[in-house]
Structure 1
C-alpha cells in the first residue's frame, strides 16, 4: 500500500468517525443555530486533540503530513474511537509498518481439509477475503452447502447478502451481517489498491442496498468471538453457536479456522 493510499484511507476514516460523534457526546456545548456538519466540526476535533485546525484538516484531506503516534492517539481519543478503531487508525498512519505475509492465500492445502474433517462442530477455513477454502460436513449441513458452490461463489461476505437461503436460516442476520461488514472493511483498508477487494465491494454495493448502507457507515471491527443463531431442519428451536476464530495457519497468518461451537 502506498503512503498516498494510506493517507487518503486515514483521512476518509477520520471523516467518518467525526461525522458519527455528536457535540454533546464530546462535551461541546451546542449553541443556538443550525449546524450544517452532521457530527463534530473539524475545528472541534482539532481543539479536543490539541492540534491546529489546519493540521487536522490536512490529515482528513489525505495529505501526506508528518504526525507522531502521540498526535494520532490524541485524535483517536478526541473522536472516542473503540480499541479496534484505534488499532486500525494507527495501522493506517504508521509509515514504517512492515509488509505482512500475503493474507489472500486462495489454494486449498490437503492438510487443512484433514483438520476440518477431524472436527465435529461446523467449521471452515477462510482468508481475509472471506473466501472459504476448506470446510467439514457439519458446516455443509448447518451453515451452507459449500460443496455445491464453485470457488468463486464461496465468499462468506457475498453469501450473507445474496443468498436468501442462508439469510432465512440465520435468526440474527442483521446483527451478524453488520459485524461481518465491519470486519471485511478492516481487511479492505489493509489491502487498499487490491482489485479483488475493490471489485467485490462495488459489485455488492450494486447487488445489495443493505450492504451499501452498512458499508457507508465505515465501521471497523477486529475478529472476535461472535454469536449466530440458525433455524435447523427438524429442530424445535433455533440453535445458537459461538464462532471462535483461530488465526495463523502454518505460514499464512491471514487464514482463520472458524469453529461454530454450540451454546449450551
Structure 2
C-alpha cells in the first residue's frame, strides 16, 4: 500500500468519525425537525443530514462509512451549515475533505542562534519556540522553570501535550486543568488535519492514548479549536501564583511554528517571573 493511499484512507476515516460525532450532538429541534416518539438515534439521522445538505442519502452514508468518494467545496459548505459547525470545525472539515486548506501547516524552522538570543532578550518573560505538534524546540531560562523543570526531562518528553496529560508537576501547575486539556486535545486534532499520515504525529497520538485515559476520552470527541492566546493562572512551585497572558508570534503559516510568550498581567506576577528568572540563570 502506497503512502498516498494510506494518507487518503486515514483522512477518510477521520472525516467519517468527525461527521458522525457532529451529527450525533445536534438535537432535531435545533434545525427545525420534529423529534418523534420512536427516535432512537442520538442527534440527527443520516437521512436528515442528507436532506438538510441537499445530497443523496446513499452518498452521505458512504461518506460516513469512509468510502473513497469526492467532496466538492459546495457540498462541504452545505455539510458545515447543516451540522452547525463553528469556524474551527468548518476549517477542520474542509482540510479533511481535501478541498480547501485555509490554515496550512508549515515545516518547523531551524532554531537559529538569533532566535535563541531573542528568547533570552525576552527574559524575565517566559518564552519558548513550539512547532504545530507542541514540541518545545527551545526556551529561555524562565520558561524552563515555569511549569516544571524542563532541563530535567529528556528531549522526547519536552512536548506540551505529553506534559499536560502525564507529568505530575506540570499538571499541578495548571489552573483549571480539565478545561485546559480539553482545549489542548482540540487544538492538536485541528493541527493534525494536514499531518494524518506523518509518523511523528501518529506516534505522539499513540503514545498519549497508551499513557492517558483522559486523553483517549477527549480525543474520541473529535472536537477542534484553532490555536489562540488566552489569560491563564499558573501555580509555580518556586514563586507562587502567576497571572499570565499567553501570546503567539507566528514564525510561519497559522498552525505552524510559533514563538510563545507568557506576559505578566499584574505587578505581583511581574515580580514573580523576575524571581523565577533569578532562580534559573542558565539558558536552555
Q: How does the TM-score come out when normalised to structure 2? A: 0.83
Residue 159 of structure 1 contacts residue 166 of structure 1 at CA under 8 Å; is this kept in 2? yes
2:88 match: secondary structure: helix
Q: Does 1:200 align with 2:204?
A: yes
Greater relative contact order (Cα < 8 A, sep 6+): 2
Q: What's the CA shift for 1:97?
A: 5.7
Partner deviation per Cα, 1:178-212 (whole Å, 9 max, x = no partner): 11111111222321112222222122112111111
Q: CA separation in 2, counterparts of 1:252 and 1:231?
A: 29
- Please give the residue correspondences for 1:62-141 in structure 2 after superposition, counting only pairs within 5 Å: 62-95=66-99, 102-104=106-108, 108-120=111-123, 121-141=125-145
Residue 3 of structure 1 contacts residue 95 of structure 1 at CA under 8 Å; is this kept in 2? no
**2:52 match:** 48
Q: CA separation in 1, counterparts of 2:8 and 2:207?
A: 27
Residue 242 of structure 1 contacts residue 260 of structure 1 at CA under 8 Å; is this kept in 2? yes
Q: CA separation in 1, counterparts of 2:166 and 2:208?
A: 8
Tell me which of 17, 20, 27 is aligned to 1:15: 20
Are residues 220 and 140 of structure 1, via their aligned partners in 2, closer, same or farther at CA, if it must alter by over 3 Å?
same
Are residues 18 and 29 of structure 1, via their aligned partners in 2, closer, same or farther at CA, if it must alter by over 3 Å?
same
Q: What's the CA shift for 1:253?
A: 7.7
Tell me which of 181, 184, 191 is aligned to 1:187: 191
Tell me which of 253, 256, 260 is aligned to 1:254: 256
Q: CA separation in 2, counterparts of 1:211 and 1:71?
A: 32
Residue 10 of structure 1 contacts residue 92 of structure 1 at CA under 8 Å; is this kept in 2? yes
Residue 113 of structure 1 contacts residue 134 of structure 1 at CA under 8 Å; is this kept in 2? yes
Q: CA separation in 2, counterparts of 1:71 and 1:253?
A: 25
Q: CA separation in 1, counterparts of 2:105 and 2:221?
A: 29
Are residues 20 and 151 of structure 1, via their aligned partners in 2, closer, same or farther at CA, if it must alter by over 3 Å?
same
Unmatched runs of 5 consecutive residues or more in structure 1: none
Residue 119 of structure 2 contacts residue 127 of structure 2 at CA under 8 Å; is this kept in 1? yes
Q: CA separation in 2, counterparts of 1:112 and 1:150?
A: 22
Unmatched runs of 5 consecutive residues or more in structure 2: 267-284
Are residues 253 and 173 of structure 1, via their aligned partners in 2, closer, same or farther at CA, if it must alter by over 3 Å?
closer
Partner deviation per Cα, 1:225-264 (whole Å, 9 max, x = no partner): 223211134656x322221111125x99821111112233
Are residues 253 and 28 of structure 1, via their aligned partners in 2, closer, same or farther at CA, if it must alter by over 3 Å?
closer
Q: CA separation in 2, counterparts of 1:190 and 1:227?
A: 28
Residue 176 of structure 1 contacts residue 228 of structure 1 at CA under 8 Å; is this kept in 2? no
Q: CA separation in 2, counterparts of 1:70 and 1:128?
A: 29
How many pairs are equivalent? 260
Partner deviation per Cα, 1:150-185 (whole Å, 9 max, x = no partner): 211101100001111111111121111111111111
Residue 122 of structure 1 contacts residue 143 of structure 1 at CA under 8 Å; is this kept in 2? no
